[in-house]
Amino acid sequence: MFKSLVRCYSTALPNKQTVLPRFTFPVANTSISLINKNLSKYLNNKHEKITLNGHINRKPRIRSTLGFVHLRDENGDEIQLFATPNTTSDAIFKLLKEVSVEDSISVSGYIQSKESKANKQEVELVIEDFHILNPSNLEAARLEKLKQSSPKDIPPQFRYLQLRTPFFQNALRTRSKISKLIRDILIENHNFVEIETPLLFKSTPEGAREFLVPTRSSKFYALPQSPQQYKQILMSSGFTKYFQLAKCFRDEDLRSDRQPEFTQIDLEMSFINNSDQIGLVVEDLIHNIWNKIGNKSTYKVNSIGNLERITNFDGLQFEKLDYIDALTKYGIDKPDLRYNLEFENLQDYFVNENNEFPIVEACILRNAGHIPKSFTDGLNFKRKPFVWMIKNEEDKLIQNKVKGIYVKNANYNLDLNIGDVIAISTRSEFPYENPTPLGKFRQLTIQEFPDKYKRPIEENGKLITNYNHDVIVGSWVVNFPLFNPVELESDIYPKYDYTKFQSTHHPFTMCKIEDYDLLETDPLKVRGEHYDLVINGVEIGGGSRRIHDSELQNYIFRNILKINNIDELFGHLLKALSMGCPPHAGLAIGFDRLCAMIIGSSSIKDVIAFPKNQSGVDPVVDSPTQVNREVLSEYHITVNK
């Protein structure tokens, strides 16, 4: 279908009569939705001359005496265009026969009722004037089919054709509305200043792999993985509330739904002594975005474990969940709290032969009913021991089947009933493995049984269990360990080097005040002033209080993270901190992910105009490309094939 696009261009100047009319044409004076809203003004009023611009939406039907064409305007609305040889000139009627789906056009005429629908107020535009502004060169019938079934089936190199469809028009328009609301809330309600920070930054070890930008001076810039250091320097520059919709770049594994370049709602505040002040601003954004643009309420888990709609945005609403509680109850630091599946600790009854992973725990799916094979096939985890069983007659089954786990007290009673499923695994005392095997099991269960283990909604004293609408449930996960031991290669059990540390969030995060002394004695026990915002099992944002004391920051770099060339890498930050930089804290929200969730999509590609594919290629422009040797030599680069 798209072959015809590979055109042979002539070397001659194109024909003036063909080209110039494409540049001089009547511009739209209204839109289809405005016409529909003001029908009485337009209907059968030949003096009310209308011009619309847009694309042909479906294959036209042109017979010898009658022609029907469908125009889609910039809002994605459609109107039928109607012509007979009597309503328009011969030349235009002839032109209509050349029209093809997705051509861009300008049409002028007046509005009348559709003949067959005279009472129903369905209208059409009678064509008086018509211009093809650019033909699409596409095989209409196939493209039309693709547009209707799934716009994503249109080949990705023709992203602009995908984007013309209602799905993507809505996605990108929603994204634009969300950015406007964010700016309104942050600037108008909270006095933030939007400041752009450089994209040509320098290479520093902040966590992710960077993209380097060569220069002719044989030095390199790096694209920022986030504006973290610049925003901290801004806090030292007299701005107390900064934000930006920031482009970030990370040269990371693209297999999961990630993009090498993405956007964050990045913010920072100074002179604050408590991270709740960041939380309040962020919740103001989140509740408003979901309420006003997502048309959905936000919920929290209340003190008795039910879902409660958030109606009052004063004060922090989402519950705070300790990292260690998240891991022990749900096996992951971003639990989907729409579901109340919590693990049971079986440590008193069983012992694991690998004593680095002494905790034996279970996730029980009560009354699971039919278990599809697709689900059990997915439970073949590399990390063992992991077992699952369906209870049939009696529960002696554990002792016999779990390799590596021994019964230490036979008096266990898990209160299993026929039809229940039990999954059992182990974890270390302090879990760095994230998710744990049971955490993965819980995630797969949620995917497989999306309606089964939902928490009830508590409303006006009643518990509602059979609701079928999507709920948006948020929580703050706090008290993360400030450092993790470095993970080593391993096959079954994860292995760590407990003498080498890396920052859980980033190296600029402050510790909990009460854990300060542990920085010297036992860094792995130190908790960070770090908070993640998790919504429906997705980590939507994360942030922290920062270290604004340059001595302490230097200590963390040197003594804990063992960074050698601190001056070269972070001297700029230490200097800015040491010159009266106020206490500050901040956070960044994944803007693409948030937009995707708002439109109900699981892929951030749906809300990015020109995403890269899984190989990091932009299929529209076919980047990245090779660069010829002469250009490379200006940058002092040679490429080893």
* Per-residue binder mask for ligand ASP (CB under 6 A), 355-394, x = binder: ----------------------------------------
Find, among 433, 529, 545, the residue nearest to 477 by Cα.
529
How many residues bind ligand ASP, per CB under 6 A?
8
Q: Measure the CA–CA gap between 290 and 540, rounded to whole angstroms.
A: 13
Is cis: bond before 624, omega within 30 of 0?
yes
Minimum distance, C-beta of residue 141 to ligand ASP, in the bound complex (Å): 47
Please report how the helices 323-330 and 437-448 are oriented relative to each other, as an axis angle in degrees rounded to 10.
70
Between 156 and 207, CB nearer to ligand ASP: 207
Nearer to ligand ASP, 54 or 542 (CB): 542
Task: State the Cα–Cα distance between residues 451 and 377, nearest whole angstrom.
Answer: 21
For ligand ASP, give the closer residue by CB, 286 or 588.
588
Report the residue closest to ligand ASP, judged by CB.
Answer: 226
Q: Does 228 bind ligand ASP (CB under 6 A)?
A: yes
Rule CB under 6 A: say whether 229 interacts with ligand ASP.
Answer: no
Task: Give residues 249-268 in contact with ligand ASP (rule: CB under 6 A).
Answer: none
Nearest to 241 by CA among 548, 605, 585, 591: 585
Opening angle at CA 556, ends 552 and 562, nearest 5: 145
Residues 564-593 that bind ligand ASP (CB under 6 A): 586-588
**Which two three-digit tokens encode residue 634?**
């200006």
Rule CB under 6 A: is residue 542 a binding residue for ligand ASP?
yes
| Residue 49 Rama label (left phi>0; alpha psi -120 to 50; beta) | beta
**Residue of 162, 165, 197, 226 interacting with ligand ASP (CB under 6 A):** 226
Q: Which of 164-172, 450-458, 488-496, 536-544 is the region at the interface with ligand ASP (rule: CB under 6 A)?
A: 536-544
The DSSP bridge pattern shows strands 472-478 and 319-322 to be parallel
CB of residue 612 to ligand ASP, shortest distance in Å: 19
Q: Beta strand pairing status for 241-249 and 193-194?
A: parallel
Find the shortest distance in angstroms from Cβ 268 to ligand ASP. Answer: 7
Backbone angles phi, psi at 93, to 5 degrees: -60, -35
Tokens at 591, concatenated: 């803007």
Structure tokens at 42: 């337009």
Is residue 507 within the footprint of ligand ASP (CB under 6 A)?
no
Residue 323, classified by CB atoms within 10 Å of its CB into exposed (0-12), middle (13-18) or buried (19+), is: buried
By C-beta, is 439 or 542 nearer to ligand ASP? 542
Q: Looking at beta carbons only, is 473 or 585 nearer to ligand ASP?
A: 585
β-strands 212-214, 495-503: how paired? unpaired
Peptide bond into 523 cis (omega under 30): no
Residue 306 found at the interface with ligand ASP (CB under 6 A): no
Query: Residue 584 Cβ, how far from ligand ASP at the closest point, in Å?
Result: 10
Interaction pattern, residues 172-191, with ligand ASP; x per rule: CB under 6 A: --------------------
Q: Which is nearer to ligand ASP, 57 or 244 (CB)?
A: 244
User: Where does this chain touch ligand ASP (CB under 6 A) — which range of 139-147, 151-159, 496-504, 541-549?
Assistant: 541-549
Nearest CB to ligand ASP, comparing residues 164 and 545: 545
Is 352 a residue that touches ligand ASP (CB under 6 A)?
Answer: no
- For ligand ASP, the closer of residues 227 and 494 by Cβ is 227
CB of 186 to ligand ASP, least distance (A): 14
- Least distance (Å) from ligand ASP to the CB of residue 260? 14
- Considering beta carbons, is residue 151 or 586 the nearer one to ligand ASP? 586
Question: Rounded to the nearest whole angstrom, what is the least distance from the CB of residue 598 to ligand ASP in the complex?
Answer: 20
Choose the stretch contacting ligand ASP; rule: CB under 6 A; options: 16-24, 294-302, 338-346, 540-548. 540-548
Residue 544 or 553 with smaller CB distance to ligand ASP: 544
Task: Name the minimum Å distance from CB 531 to ligand ASP.
Answer: 9
How far is it, in rounded angstroms, from Cα 601 to Cα 290? 14
Report the nearest approach of ligand ASP to the CB of residue 324 (Å). 21
| Residues in the chain, overall count | 641
Alpha helix ranges (H) inside 458-590 = 518-521, 550-555, 566-578
Encoded amino acid at 263, one letter: T
- Of residues 342 and 549, the one with the C-beta less far from ligand ASP: 549
d(CA 243, CA 564): 32
> Sheet harboring 344-345: ordered strands across?
344-345, 359-365, 421-427, 386-390
Cβ 121 to ligand ASP, closest distance in Å? 53
Return the residues of window 438-457 that contact ligand ASP according to CB under 6 A.
none
Q: Is 544 in the site for ligand ASP (CB under 6 A)?
A: yes
Give dist(CA 544, CA 226) in Å, integer: 14
Q: How far is the CB of 573 from ligand ASP (least distance, A)?
A: 13
CA atoms within 13 A on the CB side of 307: 24
CB nearer ligand ASP, residue 282 or residue 421 = 282
For ligand ASP, which stretch binds (CB under 6 A), given 108-116, 269-277, 283-291, 542-550?
542-550
**Torsion angle of C-alpha atoms 458, 461, 462, 463, degrees rounded to 10:** 30
Question: For residue 104, what are its two tokens?
Answer: 């861009």
Q: Assign 367 to helix, strand or coil.
A: coil
438/423 Cα distance (integer angstroms) = 7
Least Å from the CB of residue 488 to ligand ASP: 25
Tokens representing 253 are 């594994």
d(CA 590, CA 334): 14
CA distance linking residue 606 with residue 599, whole number of Å: 9
CB 288 → ligand ASP: shortest distance, Å? Answer: 20
**Binding residues vs ligand ASP (CB under 6 A):** 226, 228, 542-544, 586-588
